[in-house]
């Protein structure tokens, strides 16, 4: 009712319908953690194409298994990724610009040998320096990144006009570079206006560092570094941690930490097979040994074997790669075309770019690994190389887990994350029947939409899902403690893993 009824007439009042639309979250934002040749360190950067990766992180490199995994992700249908670059003992290149009060030190914006190709050019032809004045603090600064091996070809450049060495100036050079430059920064003090001329980066002062270790991925004291830099990201759904280098796997401890972190963030870990799994017997023994591989997890799935693809940096020769990037891309592709409730496996789950598999297996050998919860990559005539398994690492037959299948688990994570974000309006609302009714209405609409898309079993909504929020779920004691309980159930679609066809001969009938 309007606050004041002061005159005879008609009053208009808008009444809320109580409908609060719940929007489903993304399902295939994939986080990659590993080594790159350049780019921000321990900071999740969102990219949406491999061209973005090249621009920010430098493209393919033999030192970076992550660069190949990201390329294979986008090649196989991925569209959205978060990149966390880690490094070990890397160094930033420096340019020392001479001034009257000592050098002005400019650093490459991040670690890596790429910074050794930087060049700075200073001139004094500023708007405040006409005619020239000896006490003027202004100067122009041109930063160029030269093409490796060239002294004339420029890859990219940044020009900063009328910057000043005076800290009181609105164009103070340190503030301008720190905020506007993607190539360099000023780590120290600014003594004087630098002398005019061209300055190249100090020879070999930039370094890519040593091969990364598990300590860079899974630090002992995480402070939003390595894997835990993803704390800075709002959302990711899939996690890939490629091998440390082409011959060195991440440790079982790092795999366990990654699976646990995915559980905390309602995400899913795509696990690579160790390099030592070069035959069926080794893989069978390895996946059965949690101490050497990893602890069983409903938030992780492992794939075997590795894939062989052409390497552009090796004259397109076939090189063996860990498959996590390609698998994550297939998951993203399946989510887009069929939905997160569809198993990312089968004849549609072709591995784009794969030329052969590191281990070729028969149906019988596949049958030894599948019951252990290890998903196989297979090669079939006409179809080609495909993903031929859809089990979580909790999906071994012996465990009898309700989270046996990848699509069931990922659908549950999708629902959980969507409802976690979509029910925050309930906080501090009156804990009574009108609020409960709104909850049932809004969550029921979300679940009904999934049902109509074919996400659940059942021919009717009653068979497919339920949403319960009433006096049965929320008692008076719960109300006194400020708690509202919502119970949601759904009947998930489970993949037809085994198709049995029964054939029978028709017995001849004796005519009478």
Average model confidence (pLDDT) for the chain? 93
Lowest model confidence (mean pLDDT) among 173-182, 221-230, 497-506: 497-506
| E strand or H helix that includes residue 446 | helix 433-452
Instruction: Provide the pLDDT confidence category of residue 151 given band limits of 50, 70 and 90.
Output: confident
DSSP 404-429: -BHHHHHHHHHHHHHHHHHTGGGTTS
Write a three-state SS string for 293-334: CCCCCCCEEEEECCEEEEEHHHCCEEEEECCHHHHHHHHHHH
Q: Which of 13, 64, 345 is nearest to 208 (CA)?
A: 64
Query: For residue 508, is pLDDT > 80?
Result: no
Query: For residue 101, is pLDDT > 90?
Result: no
Instruction: Provide the pLDDT confidence category of residue 129 given band limits of 50, 70 and 90.
Output: low
pLDDT digits (tens, 9 = 90+) for 42-93: 999 999 999 999 999 999 999 999 999 999 999 999 999 999 999 999 999 9
CATH node for 94-200: 2.60.40
pLDDT digits (tens, 9 = 90+) for 377-417: 999 999 999 999 999 999 999 999 999 999 999 999 999 99
Cα(301)–Cα(377) distance, rounded to whole angstroms? 13
Q: Is 323 exposed, middle or buried (0-12, 13-18, 19+ CB in 10 A)?
A: buried
Query: For residue 103, is pLDDT > 70?
Result: yes
Query: For residue 133, is pLDDT > 80?
Result: no
Angle formed at CA 113 by CA 108 and CA 114, multiple of 5 degrees: 65
Cα(347)–Cα(55) distance, rounded to whole angstroms? 34
Cα(44)–Cα(199) distance, rounded to whole angstroms? 32
Between 505 and 339, whose confidence is greater? 339
Residues 219/182, Cβ–Cβ less than 8 Å: no
| E strand or H helix that includes residue 287 | helix 280-287
Cα(396)–Cα(335) distance, rounded to whole angstroms? 24
The pLDDT, as a whole number, for residue 359 is 96
| E strand or H helix that includes residue 144 | strand 138-146
DSSP three-state, residue 51: helix
The pLDDT, as a whole number, for residue 511 is 62
pLDDT digits (tens, 9 = 90+) for 451-464: 999 999 999 999 99
The domains of the chain are located at 1-22+427-512, 30-87+210-407, 94-200
Residues 230/84, Cβ–Cβ less than 8 Å: yes
pLDDT digits (tens, 9 = 90+) for 343-353: 999 999 999 99
CATH node for 30-87+210-407: 3.40.50.11780
Cα(321)–Cα(309) distance, rounded to whole angstroms? 7
Instruction: Provide the pLDDT confidence category of residue 128 given band limits of 50, 70 and 90.
Output: low
The pLDDT, as a whole number, for residue 130 is 53
Cα(401)–Cα(394) distance, rounded to whole angstroms? 6
The pLDDT, as a whole number, for residue 19 is 79
Q: Which of 96, 89, 95 is nearest to 112 (CA)?
A: 89
| E strand or H helix that includes residue 132 | none
Query: For residue 131, is pLDDT > 80?
Result: no
DSSP 204-272: T--B--SPP-HHHHS-SS-SS-GGGGGGGSS---EEE---SBTTBPPPHHHHHHHHHHHHHTT-EEEEP
Query: For residue 104, is pLDDT > 70?
Result: yes
Q: Is 180 exposed, middle or buried (0-12, 13-18, 19+ CB in 10 A)?
A: exposed
Average pLDDT (328-354) is: 97
Query: For residue 367, is pLDDT > 80?
Result: yes
The pLDDT, as a whole number, for residue 15 is 82
Residue 406 is encoded by which pair of tokens?
């990848």
Backbone angles phi, psi at 431, to 5 degrees: -90, 75
Taking the CA atoms of residue 122, residue 128, residue 130 and residue 134 in that order, the dihedral angle to the nearest 10 degrees is -70
Question: Tokens 């149906």 belong to which residue?
Answer: 363
Beta-carbon neighbour count of residue 423 at 10 Å?
17
Instruction: Provide the pLDDT confidence category of residue 444 given band limits of 50, 70 and 90.
Output: very high
Average pLDDT (27-44) is: 96
pLDDT digits (tens, 9 = 90+) for 406-416: 999 999 999 99
Beta-carbon neighbour count of residue 21 at 10 Å?
9
DSSP three-state, residue 202: coil
DSSP three-state, residue 139: strand
Query: For residue 282, is pLDDT > 60?
Result: yes
Q: What residues have CB less than 8 Å from 366, skipping those under 6 apart?
A: 376, 378, 388
pLDDT digits (tens, 9 = 90+) for 169-208: 999 999 999 999 999 999 999 999 999 999 999 988 999 9
pLDDT digits (tens, 9 = 90+) for 419-433: 999 999 999 999 999
The pLDDT, as a whole number, for residue 348 is 95
Query: For residue 135, is pLDDT > 60?
Result: no
The pLDDT, as a whole number, for residue 146 is 94
Angle formed at CA 42 by CA 71 and CA 295, multiple of 5 degrees: 75
Cα(300)–Cα(451) distance, rounded to whole angstroms? 26
């Amino acid at each position: 009712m309007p606050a004041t009824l002061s005159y005879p007439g008609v009053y208009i009042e808008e009444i809320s319908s109580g409908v609060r639309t719940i929007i489903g979250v993304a399902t295939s934002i994939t986080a990659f953690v590993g080594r790159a040749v350049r780019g921000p360190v321990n900071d999740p950067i969102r990219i949406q194409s491999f061209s973005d990766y090249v621009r920010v992180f430098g493209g393919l490199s033999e030192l970076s298994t992550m660069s190949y995994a990201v390329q294979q992700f986008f090649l196989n249908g991925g569209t959205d990724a978060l990149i966390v670059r880690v490094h070990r003992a890397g160094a930033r290149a420096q340019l020392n610009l001479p001034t009257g009060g000592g050098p002005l030190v400019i650093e490459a914006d991040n670690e890596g040998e790429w910074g050794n190709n930087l060049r700075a050019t200073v001139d004094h032809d500023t708007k405040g320096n006409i005619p020239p004045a000896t006490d003027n603090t202004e100067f122009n600064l041109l930063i160029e990144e030269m093409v490796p091996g060239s002294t004339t070809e420029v890859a990219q450049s940044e020009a900063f006009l009328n910057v000043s060495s005076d800290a009181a100036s609105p164009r103070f050079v340190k503030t301008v570079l720190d905020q506007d430059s993607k190539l360099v920064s000023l780590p120290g003090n600014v003594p004087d206006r630098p002398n005019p001329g061209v300055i190249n980066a100090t020879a070999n002062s930039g370094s890519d560092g040593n091969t990364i270790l598990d300590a860079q991925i899974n630090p002992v004291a995480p402070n939003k570094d390595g894997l835990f830099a993803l704390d800075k990201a709002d959302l990711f759904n899939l996690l890939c941690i490629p091998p440390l280098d082409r011959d060195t796997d991440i440790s079982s401890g790092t795999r366990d930490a990654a699976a646990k972190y995915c559980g905390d963030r309602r995400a899913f870990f795509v696990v690579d097979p160790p390099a030592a799994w070069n035959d069926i017997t080794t893989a069978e023994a390895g996946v059965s040994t949690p101490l050497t591989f990893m602890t069983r997890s409903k938030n992780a799935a492992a794939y075997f074997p590795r894939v062989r693809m052409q390497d552009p940096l090796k004259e397109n020769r076939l090189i063996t790669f860990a498959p996590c990037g390609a698998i994550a891309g297939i998951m993203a592709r399946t989510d887009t075309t069929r939905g997160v409730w569809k198993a990312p496996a089968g004849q549609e789950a072709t591995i784009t770019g794969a030329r052969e598999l590191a281990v070729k297996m028969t149906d019988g050998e596949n049958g030894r690994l599948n019951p252990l919860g290890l998903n196989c990559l297979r090669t079939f005539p006409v179809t080609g190389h495909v993903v031929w398994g859809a089990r979580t690492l909790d999906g071994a037959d012996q465990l009898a887990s309700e989270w046996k299948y990848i699509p069931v688990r990922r659908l549950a994570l999708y629902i959980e994350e969507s409802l976690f974000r979509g029910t925050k309006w309930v906080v501090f609302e009156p804990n009574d029947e009108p609020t409960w009714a709104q909850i049932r209405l809004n969550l029921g609409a979300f679940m009904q939409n999934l049902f109509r898309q074919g996400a659940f079993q059942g021919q009717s909504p009653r068979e497919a899902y339920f949403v319960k929020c009433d006096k049965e779920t929320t008692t008076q004691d719960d109300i006194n403690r400020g708690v509202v309980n919502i119970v949601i159930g759904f009947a998930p679609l489970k993949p037809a893993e085994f198709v049995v066809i029964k054939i029978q001969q028709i017995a001849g009938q004796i005519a009478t």
